Amino acid sequence: MTTAPTPWLFTGRPGADGTSVERAAHRDGPDAVLFDRDGTLVVDVPYNGDPRRVRPRPGAEEALARLGALGIAVGVVSNQSGVARGLLTRRQVRAVNHRVDLLLGPFGVWAVCPHGPDDGCACRKPAPGLVLAACARLGARPSRTVVIGDIGSDMGAATAAGAHGVLVPTPATLPAEIAEAPRTAPDLPTAVDLALGTPFRPRATAARIAGGAP
């Protein structure tokens, strides 16, 4: 019996686990915000396996610091087909992730798809697997999670998982992807503003739950 390909899950640094969801539970904001890595959090270096080449995108540090100050769980969801193509190893992926985590984190979870387009996995964006796996690790509800990315597959993964998406276009973003995006932002701080202002369904109060209201 063949086992279906599954994503790689890396735990963030100590103190970056899903308890941040509990700290944020009294607010009407998101349970979690998930970011694409290359082209969103850091400058896109194709098939990068060298931590020394990691450069944060403008506004990334400000955006992550704001979420951290609010106690909102954050994670990363990243396609890394260079693994399937033989251009990257698991160790290299983890080393680059660790460098990003040191510069911008801590992140509660790293969900990585190491598969290629023809591998038949359920995690390669725009499939929902990475978003669902990250939410499960953080204890976040997909319906109260926001995915921020730079291309259409990031938005597709958010929609497929039942989450909300915000597109931050770069020169690599196709015009059609911008036109089809649920929301767009010119930079990461603005994307976080939109994430925090997402009109989620109000949380049920104890009285409503006790009364059996939906």
Q: Which of 36, 50, 101, 119 is catalytic?
A: 36
Whether 38 is catalytic? yes
| Strands 109-113 and 8-11, sheet pairing | antiparallel
Q: Rounded to an integer, what distance in angstroms lies between the CA atom of residue 72 and that of residue 138?
A: 10
In Å, how far from its chain's centre is CA 114? Answer: 16
Write the CB contacts of 116 (distance below 8 Å, at least 6 apart in sequence): 81, 84, 85, 124
Task: Reply yes or no on whether 154 is catalytic.
Answer: no
Q: Given 28, 31, 38, 50, which residue is catalytic?
A: 38
Short-list 134, 139, 169, 124, CA closest to 151: 169
Residues belonging to the active site? 36, 38
